[in-house]
Structure 1
Amino acid sequence: MSTSTQVRTSVHTSTSKIMSPTILAIDDSAAAEAVGPIGLPAKQVPENPNSLASRAPKLQSPRRITFKDIADKRTRAGKLVALTASAADSDMFKVAAAGQKPKARRWDHLLSQESASRKPCRLKQAALNLRKPGIISLGGGLPCPDNFPIESISMRVPSVSGGFSEADTRAHGQDVTIGKYDVQNQAEDPNGAVYDLSIALNYSQATGSAQMIRFVTEHTELVNNPPYADWRCSMSIGSTGALEMALRIFCDRQRKDSMLTEEFSFSTAVETAMPLGVKVVGVPVDDEGLIPEKMDEILRTWNPEERKGAAKPHVLYTVPSGQNPTGSTQSEQRRRALYQVCREHDVFIIEDEPYYYMQMPPYRGRDAKKQEEQSTDAEETPDQFLESLVPSILSLDVDGRVLRMDSFSKVVVPGSRMGWVTASEQIIDRFIRHGESCNQGPSGISQVLLHKLLDETWGHEGYIRWLMSVRQEYARRRDVLLAACEDHLPREVVDWEAPKTGMFHWLKVDHTKHPRASTMSISEMEAEIFRDCIDKGVLVAAGSWFMADHDAEPSGLFFRATFAAATPDNMIEATRRLGDAIRSSFQLN
């Protein structure tokens, strides 16, 4: 595969500021081959020789990509010039040579009829002719930026050197201004702007802007580096939108397709699947999340007649890190075992990872001094932080059977409604074809704001430092809530595991100890406690809301609490009120 890097330059007409993109190809193959294959090192984890994880494919552990590798690649490629509606793909921006990696498998046999029938958008394909130098476009209906009523956007953002807190930003933040014609006005500056409002406010490709594709491709290679050659990234309109598209790519109502997920799963994911006619099948979980052996048993013994005609599942939706609602995080061994089950049963994996970078130090008790002693973020380097993360399923994917969904919602701003997906070239092509006739890709305003922040202001290392600060803040919040639980919840009936990742705390209430357990259902207990919580002034989420099977009776009594937004004092008071509601229902002193 050629590693020729394509960049775009511009042609100006004499009467307008509209710029038609053309392509200048820079052959960077020799430099890429010199870098060689780069990947994440495989961590040494003791394995049971008879376990599912031991049957998973063993990966080599070549040198991991570095921040310097990315910077050197950009230097070799030269300044990126990608104008209005410029097409781009991840191969333009990868650091490592792909020649020594295998290609992904084909997934034609799993695609839905809808997805398989989608064709490229003719207008988007016609735009590729703009690569021809000097061409003047009368084809696409792209409005003239002269008529855009926004001349500039200014924002104050945290400076990497000045600290990331609100107070630090007010005192030492960096002021960033995005003008309408920054790219044109700074065209001769090798360090000048590569993205401005004339580009961002116009139509774009369904993949997203070339500028953001470059950033997320580099970031994905830095963190995950999929072990097959033809992986790609595409921007998304957030993970919920990406999930809806993924389900429509793989699931058919006519085939009576079904989807596996945790028995307690993100409620919106279940609510997204059901109207599409997808049967949702819950897999039992433990403190490490989805149990591979239980999933294997479900698949081995699948009988459509016992499942109302539903076909054997060929899709798994899972949140491996800080799972919503249980807060569980799959270990590396657990992820390898799940991947092996999926290989043996030919199941495609949708890996939803909004909380991946919020992997926290373990909770060591409510003593504030102990918690302070374990906080090492001030001394930890970005490289050490990345090494500490549990390897993603994408990083273990030798087949190209994973579509990973990343999001800016939990770690930057949810209102951007933007994230990205990573999968094989074939699946990303299906994703793009869907987007071309569905949502046309994410907001240009969101893209340019995040690009200016993440790429031009912070850079990759600065963004990792931001993620480290987010992780530290959530660890602090988690510790406040856990200490409040120790102080105010009746431990004789309430149990929990300290979450290692994310923003959710899963509380298990022993319904068998309820004084009316013989005459009262779990659903009735849950409703009684929930109503009393509201009366007492605290809102928690009922566990039954997250059941994969909406028609089944809950297997236990659970509540989900979040430590994402409430102040420490409010978390403590809310936990006291929750404890009072549980004590009242269970008639405890």
Structure 2
Amino acid sequence: MTADTRPNAVDLSHHLSLLARSRHPSPLKDLIRYMGVKGIISFAGGLPAADFFPMHSLSASIYPANTVLDPEHPSPPSQSVEFTIPRRAAAPAYDLERGLQYVGGRGLTDLEVPIRALTEKLWPPAYADWDVLLNNGSTDGWIKILTLLVESGDHIICDSQIYPSAQAGFVPMGVKAFPIAGDGEGVSPEALAKGLEEWDESRGRRPRVMYTVPVGQNPLGTTMGPARRKSVYDVCVKYDVIIIEDDPYCMLQFPPYVVGQQPTPPAPKADVDAFLSNMSNSFLTIDTQGRVIRMDTFSKTLFPGARLGWFTCNAMFAERLLRGTEVQTQGPSGFSEVITGELLNKWGVDGFIEWNTNLCEQYRVRRDWMLDALAAAFDLVPAEDAGVPGAIGLVAFPKLKANGRRGPAIISFVPPVGGMFIWCKAHYDTHPAWAGFQPDRTDQERVRAFEEKFWIRLVDALILVTPGWYFSPWEGGGHSLHEEGSGHFRLAFSYEPKANVDEGIRRLADMMTKEWTGAVDISAGL
């Protein structure tokens, strides 16, 4: 075996919260590790007798790892891979006696083997003493991280918009967001450095935790390239910030979209090398200090109902997270572990990567459906040619009239290269009713009120989008990164079939074009 020449993580124990520092190993959980000692007779643990578990076996039929589906008609393949999880089996196979019994906070450690192999293959940490720990999905993982690192009164660094459930986890703790401006590639390292350097201590201690979704950010759809990640990491090292890398969309990374390109079906065979070369890699690969806690999940690659994910972090953080797991959730569901574990046994790590290579193509096609529908419904102009202040990516104008005159800018967006979402900036200040709408209120108040009414009008037109205010970071008051005269909404391209995507975008464009061009007067309704 080749010696590991990577350095060990630096001591980051000063980041632990009072709660995390105060945790001790659960005495009862400590007993579990002795129950597997050969020949031992245990009168210690209050475990139910496995003989009384009312299951003989658990069988499943899964897709082959090399399955290529039709995005429009994703019918199950004719071939399948079968497996049965028996009541009792010899390791490394999974069985129900172990899977359905109480286990320690680590869960079934057999499942850590493919997870470690996947980590070393795709995003090996740049230091030696790293560890993995299972959790009950990323929402559970995030709450455990919050109890690990933050105190009431702290601020958490985040993007200009934040996933609502992530924020809902820390607001009740007395913690606020510290949003940082960015662009089509995510957080600006210059803005991050400036915000930390100029931090006003009267607001509390300088932020020490950064939450980021680096691929297909929800809702912004932005993806960080390698140079951007390195610049952000360097700022975090300088200001001693822990990076929480929540990366559920890491396997869904696409080539750039080109307006007017011919639609292409999914590749008939997985090109794993191209898939891996297109992947924007993890902060772990440049983390020489152990200051990144990465969260992965099977929710987007296999099934969200499994509620199964994992942390990758330095051994000290992993041990403290384990202490919290013992008294918060214990290990993940045994059903989820044995089913997912045996699936990975059948596929292998390489098979799991092949599955994701093909899966990525399915979502790439769905992204293109929505972008093609937007291109058909609007005139899309590159922001640098559109002359619209504050717009990035593509700007959507009404379709040109016969006289060739261009109408008002309606929305703008960055075509995503990862994830499941398109983040649309709605240019309310070009709407004919905007000037007379609640002029006595602040711009931020006007935008919120206009956006709420606009969302209701979309619903009336049978179009459901996620309104922008869902994602506004909570700073204890107004949103400091508010853009004057504009609001936002999020489109998800992951779920609906092509016919619904085409019809939904047609309805959206028809409704917005009529309003923005004055063909429909809605002033009375405002």
Give yes or no for TM over 0.5.
Answer: yes
For 1:156-193, what per-residue CA distance to the aligned partner results, in whole angstroms no more than 9, with x for missing partners?
11123565668674411122222212x1xxx4xxxx76
Give the letter for the 1:378 counterpart.
K
In the alignment, structure 1 segments of 5+ residues that lack a partner are 1-31, 37-96
Q: What does residue 432 of structure 1 align with?
A: 322
Q: What does residue 78 of structure 2 align with?
A: 171
Is the contact made by 1:237 and 1:417 (CA closer than 8 Å) also made in structure 2? Answer: yes
Structure 1 residues 439-588: aligned runs within 5 Å: 439-454=329-344, 456-489=345-378, 491=397, 492-520=409-437, 521-549=446-474, 551-552=477-478, 554-555=482-483, 556-588=486-518
C-alpha distance in 1 between matches for 2:199 and 2:12: 22
Q: What does residue 43 of structure 1 align with?
A: none
Is the contact made by 2:63 and 2:79 (CA closer than 8 Å) also made in structure 1? Answer: yes
Is the contact made by 2:66 and 2:354 (CA closer than 8 Å) also made in structure 1? Answer: no
Q: What does residue 386 of structure 1 align with?
A: 276
Give the letter for the 1:440 counterpart.
Q
1:341 is aligned, of 235, 251, 255, to 235
C-alpha distance in 1 between matches for 2:189 and 2:303: 34
Change (3 A) 1:169 1:252: same
C-alpha distance in 2 between matches for 1:161 and 1:282: 41
Q: What does residue 299 of structure 1 align with?
A: 196
Is the contact made by 1:158 and 1:164 (CA closer than 8 Å) also made in structure 2? Answer: no
Q: What does residue 258 of structure 1 align with?
A: 155
Give the letter for the 1:348 counterpart.
I
Structure 1 residues 122-271: aligned runs within 5 Å: 122-130=27-35, 132-160=37-65, 163=68, 169-181=76-88, 183=89, 187=90, 194-253=93-152, 256-271=153-168
C-alpha distance in 1 between matches for 2:67 and 2:253: 24
Shift, 1:495, TM fit: 1.5
Shift, 1:310, TM fit: 2.7
Give the letter for the 1:289 counterpart.
G
Give the letter for the 2:86 counterpart.
G
Check if 1:415 corresponds to 2:345: no
For 1:178-210, what per-residue CA distance to the aligned partner results, in whole angstroms no more than 9, with x for missing partners?
2212x1xxx4xxxx7621111111112211211
Q: What does residue 393 of structure 2 align with?
A: none
C-alpha distance in 2 between matches for 1:120 and 1:366: 60
For 1:348-392, what per-residue CA distance to the aligned partner results, in whole angstroms no more than 9, with x for missing partners?
0000000011001221234435x35xx657362x34422331121
Shift, 1:411, TM fit: 1.1
Give the letter for the 1:495 counterpart.
S
Structure 1 residues 101-120: aligned runs within 5 Å: 101-120=6-25
Shift, 1:214, TM fit: 1.1
Change (3 A) 1:378 1:364: farther
Larger RCO (CA within 8 A; separation ≥ 6) = 2
Is the contact made by 2:270 and 2:358 (CA closer than 8 Å) also made in structure 1? Answer: no
Change (3 A) 1:142 1:295: same
Shift, 1:574, TM fit: 1.1
Shift, 1:588, TM fit: 4.1
For 1:117-173, what per-residue CA distance to the aligned partner results, in whole angstroms no more than 9, with x for missing partners?
000111121233346432111111221111111222222111235656686744111
2:181 is aligned, of 284, 287, 291, to 284
C-alpha distance in 1 between matches for 2:111 and 2:270: 30
Shift, 1:488, TM fit: 2.2
The two structures have a TM-score, normalised by structure 1, of 0.78
Matched residue SS, 1:368? coil
Give the letter for the 1:270 counterpart.
Q
In the alignment, structure 2 segments of 5+ residues that lack a partner are 379-395, 398-408, 438-445, 520-526
C-alpha distance in 1 between matches for 2:95 and 2:128: 32
Check if 1:314 corresponds to 2:221: no
For 1:97-117, what per-residue CA distance to the aligned partner results, in whole angstroms no more than 9, with x for missing partners?
43x111101222111000000
Report the number of matched residues.
Answer: 476
The two structures have a TM-score, normalised by structure 2, of 0.87
C-alpha distance in 2 between matches for 1:360 and 1:167: 20
Matched residue SS, 2:58? strand
For 1:444-492, what per-residue CA distance to the aligned partner results, in whole angstroms no more than 9, with x for missing partners?
00000101112x2111111001101110000000000001111224523
Matched residue SS, 1:430? helix
Matched residue SS, 1:355? coil
Shift, 1:315, TM fit: 0.2
Give the letter for the 1:180 counterpart.
R
C-alpha distance in 2 between matches for 1:523 and 1:131: 59
Query: How many percent identity over aligned positions?
Result: 32
For 1:238-278, what per-residue CA distance to the aligned partner results, in whole angstroms no more than 9, with x for missing partners?
1011011101100011xx21110001111111111101111
C-alpha distance in 2 between matches for 1:211 and 1:243: 23
Give the letter for the 2:323 counterpart.
R
Is the contact made by 1:162 and 1:169 (CA closer than 8 Å) also made in structure 2? Answer: no
